[in-house]
Structure 1
Amino acid sequence: MDDERAPICDPLFHLSTLVDFFVKGAVMAGWELYDRLIDEMPKDVLVRSACMGAHWSYVEADCGTGVASTCRGGTRERLEDMVARPLCEIAKLSKSWDFEVASLGVAAINAWYNRCECLDYCAVKFGFSCCGKPDLQSDPFQYLPRRFKEFELQKGRQPRVVSVGRFPGDKNIAESSDYLVLERSLREGYNLPDSACEYVIPEADFVLITGMTEANKTLPRLLELASKAYTILIGPSATLAAPLFLADVDEIAGSIVEDSEQVKSFIELGNSPLRSGGMRVCVLS
């Protein structure tokens, strides 16, 4: 297979999203969010390689490479060889109830959407703001405390912030807000079990959601609960795509793969791709 990558987004790319853009915030029930992401992927982009790592997974395709955190749990499902199969077909694995398999599906989705070409297209076509510079503007844990301070000056109180999953480097968030962390397996530093989401998220001003929720299928319900809050989807698993804004995400802090070989090597060795030097954080809002 040659090294020629898939062309940039087709002029009709996201046409249905453009038509529906003015109904942002409409609830996407059931599989609607996943179906929209998958249906708008091309049918002729093929998978070159894939790996389900101990902590991270990747799918490399003609268009580029996507990554996702390997999510544990769910049912058990046997996988077939993915090489030379359509990327959109592998993306359908995101709907699997075997969460490890679903992680590969999310990585396949990200292989298409988390690319400079698609981000540039979204910025031009829909007026989204896209920041991918290696500075404080692309690190939500650096710029959010400033927003929280502005909120406090306006409202006379610290904002209520709920984080679904704990993120490295969230110390500044915790110090500048009324901060709650929800996690399935409680450990020191976690405030409440994830089942508390039904009670605390509707009262939040800001909600931070790990991109891993795409694989474990909790994202649609979390977005529904967070409809009154400013919601940010965070992490390398987060898909940088317009349909998520229709589902009431306000901001996405995801990543794009710039050095595929370096990222793949780190994942295959059980290391974080964020430490590979081959990824760049991008914020789409």
Structure 2
Amino acid sequence: MIIDKLIDIANERSNGRKIKDIRIGVGYTCVMLDDGSSGLAYTFVNELGPCCGQLEEAGSMIGRDCTSVISWGKKDNILKSTVGVAAINAVIHSGIQEYETGNIINEVKNLNSYDTFGMVGYFRPIINVVKQTGAKTYVFERSGKYEGTTVPDWAIEMYLPQCDVVIITGTAIINKTIDHILEMCKNAREVYIVGPSTTMSYEAFEGYNVTKLAGSLVVEPKKALEVVSQGGGTMMLKDAIKNISVKVKGK
């Protein structure tokens, strides 16, 4: 599984760093390490439930070796998985030296009316641009609350293999659906994994037909912690993060 690769990579690069702070907000979760390196991951608030929304380890995580939390990335407890992926992102993103800047929207501007576009998750700004291209569009969304071209996520196997260009939310790493989704993207010419939860590790995604990883580098850790703990989302984090992308080798 991809999450296994990410855990191994993060553990190798952890260098004995400790957890300095953890904030679990209603929009995102942020983990800060003792050297200031920080990572984000989406908080699945609607899926926590009355019991899974609580951590027995609460109050005892600060000062722990970050590897003890990194391993949570594979937990079936969605909140622990979220904390784990945020810790993975804190470690891996702190070592990124080569990356591109710019908006991932530019990658879909050249779609044509004969293309079929698929989006797993919902990014309104991207959809607004895709609509202007005339491409046939499928948006796979679990909640089903969006109108127009939205189809339920269980329809991925029916329609995703038909898509030429695909954008996948990085939250699929947290809930471990990313491997199955990528299996359905074998016919696509371009595949992008997008959003603040995306782990920018090209090594983990080699061989999966992924073109580019587009995520967020936390550049103002204290600001990110404040925004997350006060219930902020992506837009409120804009001054604390830098949107970057990394090409997957071989693409």
In the superposition, the TM-score normalised over structure 1's length comes to 0.76
SS of aligned partner of 1:107: helix
Residues 85-115 of structure 1: CA deviation (Å, up to 9, x unaligned): 1212211111111212211111001101123
Tell me how many residue pairs correspond in the alignment: 234
SS of aligned partner of 1:231: strand
Partner of 2:144: 186
Amino acid across the alignment from 2:41: A
Partner of 2:65: 86
Post-superposition offset of 1:207? 1.1
Q: Which moved more, 1:85-94 or 1:30-39?
A: 30-39
Q: Percent identity?
A: 22
Q: Distance in 2 between matches of 1:114 and 1:233?
A: 15
Q: Distance in 2 between matches of 1:195 and 1:273?
A: 26
Post-superposition offset of 1:275? 2.1
Matched, 1:161 2:124: no
Q: How is 1:171-250 mapped onto 2 (pairs within 5 angstroms)?
A: 171-176=128-133, 177-189=135-147, 191-229=150-188, 230-248=190-208, 249-250=210-211
In structure 2, do the counterparts of structure 1 residues 31 and 251 end up closer, same or farther at CA, with 3 Å as the change threshold?
closer
Q: Distance in 1 between matches of 2:234 and 2:120?
A: 21
Q: Distance in 1 between matches of 2:32 and 2:8?
A: 21
Q: Distance in 2 between matches of 1:39 and 1:199?
A: 37
In structure 2, do the counterparts of structure 1 residues 204 and 112 end up closer, same or farther at CA, with 3 Å as the change threshold?
same
RMSD (Å), alpha carbons: 2.0
Cα contact 1:266–1:273 (8 A) shared by 2: no
SS of aligned partner of 1:284: strand
Matched, 1:95 2:74: yes
Q: How is 1:56-71 mapped onto 2 (pairs within 5 angstroms)?
A: 56-63=28-35, 64-71=37-44
In the superposition, the TM-score normalised over structure 2's length comes to 0.86
Post-superposition offset of 1:38? 3.9
Post-superposition offset of 1:41? 3.1
SS of aligned partner of 2:123: coil
SS of aligned partner of 1:54: coil
Matched, 1:119 2:119: no
Amino acid across the alignment from 2:23: C
Unaligned runs of 5+ in 1: 1-28, 124-129, 133-137
Residues 69-98 of structure 1: CA deviation (Å, up to 9, x unaligned): 102426826341221112122111111112
Post-superposition offset of 1:158? 2.6
Amino acid across the alignment from 1:85: R
Choose from 97, 100, 108 the match for 1:144. Answer: 108
Post-superposition offset of 1:34? 4.1
Cα contact 1:210–1:233 (8 A) shared by 2: yes
Q: Distance in 1 between matches of 2:158 and 2:141?
A: 14
Cα contact 2:118–2:167 (8 A) shared by 1: yes
Cα contact 2:117–2:163 (8 A) shared by 1: yes
Q: Which moved more, 1:31-40 or 1:246-255?
A: 31-40
